[in-house]
Amino acid sequence: MENSLPQFRYFLKDSIRQKINFRMTDQSEGKPPPPIEKPFRDDSLRIDLVTKEHWHHISNVGIITAIENTKSHRHFKPAALSLEELSFLLWATQGIKNVTSNGTAYRTVPSAGCRHAFETYLCILNVEGLKRGIYRYLPIEHQLLIERESENISDEIIEATFHQSFTGRGAVTFIWAVIPYRMEWRYHLAAHKVIAIDIGHVCQNLYLACAAVGSGTCAVGAYHQELMDNLIAVDGENEFTIYLAAVGKI
Ligand SMILES: Cc1cc2nc3c(=O)[nH]c(=O)nc-3n(C[C@H](O)[C@H](O)[C@H](O)COP(=O)(O)O)c2cc1C
């Protein structure tokens, strides 16, 4: 075990970049880029989120205070999050600010090559006006897509996070999935390290944004891969869970 560790540390280095022939990536070979948002069926049930111009209950907490108070929260009040508050948290983590003429979408977080390889699923537990279940954020439309409603979703997510019960006891648990090809299309084998870096930015914005809605969050990197992929109904190969964060009122 000890002797094999250095070979896995390779993943953290950028040495791979010198070995890749960037003229042979799918992008260089002229293959079309994958969509910036996972496609959905026209007849999917969708809910409009509250847009920035209509946010009236998001507090203007100072950046120094927000950073200074940042800590993980695993105990939440049994209070609901409003749709406005949830809309803000989604915008803060994966919202699209503008799409350029060549189809590049700039979001509220940085991403290597602006590839933004993530989809945001939500385990809704206690949000005003929403039934419990699994939803997906559509950043282009700023809407929520209902994946499936389930009264037992709390038990399911607790099981899929190795019984870390706070994941099923807050208002909403964010479940980020990665579609690796979005990054591989440009970076081939150099994609995977930057995907892991990118998701950290997303969760960090959630930590900060929670300060503006009287809420707290706790990142979750320990989860049962297959159970979580089943929970959000992704194939586990071309799209799979990469990180979670539980959110609730504090
Ligand atoms: C990548 C990552 C994975 C984590 N996974 C878990 C987890 O599975 N369960 C948990 O309770 N906390 C998890 N945490 C939260 C850390 O335990 C926490 O950030 C750390 O103890 C420092 O505490 P603080 O965030 O309050 O400063 C994770 C944090 C990170 C950054």
Q: What is the per-residue pLDDT across 8-50, written as a single tens digit (0 to 9) for each?
A: 899 899 999 899 888 889 999 999 999 999 999 999 999 999 9
Pocket probe mutation, ligand 1, options 67, 68, 72, max atoms within 8 Å of Cβ: 72
- CB of 170 closer than 8 Å to CB of 218: no
Looking from the CA of residue 162, the nearest atom of ligand 1 is 8
pLDDT surpasses 80 at 190: yes
Apex CA 145: angle with CA 98 and CA 238, to 5°? Answer: 80
> Domains (ranges, CATH) in the chain?
2-249 (3.40.109.10)
Q: What is the per-residue pLDDT for 23?
A: 86
pLDDT surpasses 80 at 2: no
- Which one, of 123, 90, 86, 89, lies nearest residue 232 by Cα? 123
Q: What is the per-residue pLDDT for 1?
A: 61
User: Is pLDDT larger for residue 14 or for residue 2?
Assistant: 14
Q: What is the per-residue pLDDT for 102?
A: 87
- Which one, of 105, 92, 98, 94, lies nearest residue 63 by Cα? 92
The 10s digit of each residue's pLDDT in 68-115 is 999 999 999 999 999 999 999 999 999 999 999 888 999 999 999 999
Ramachandran category for residue 32: left, alpha or beta (phi over 0 → left; psi -120 to 50 → alpha): beta
Segments of the chain assigned E as strands: 46-48, 96-99, 105-107, 118-124, 133-138, 143-149, 172-178, 215-220, 240-249
Mean pLDDT for the stretch of residues 146-165: 98
Residue 136, token pair as written in the block: 């997906």
Ligand 1 pocket, Cβ-based, cut-off 6 angstroms? 71-72, 74, 164, 218-222
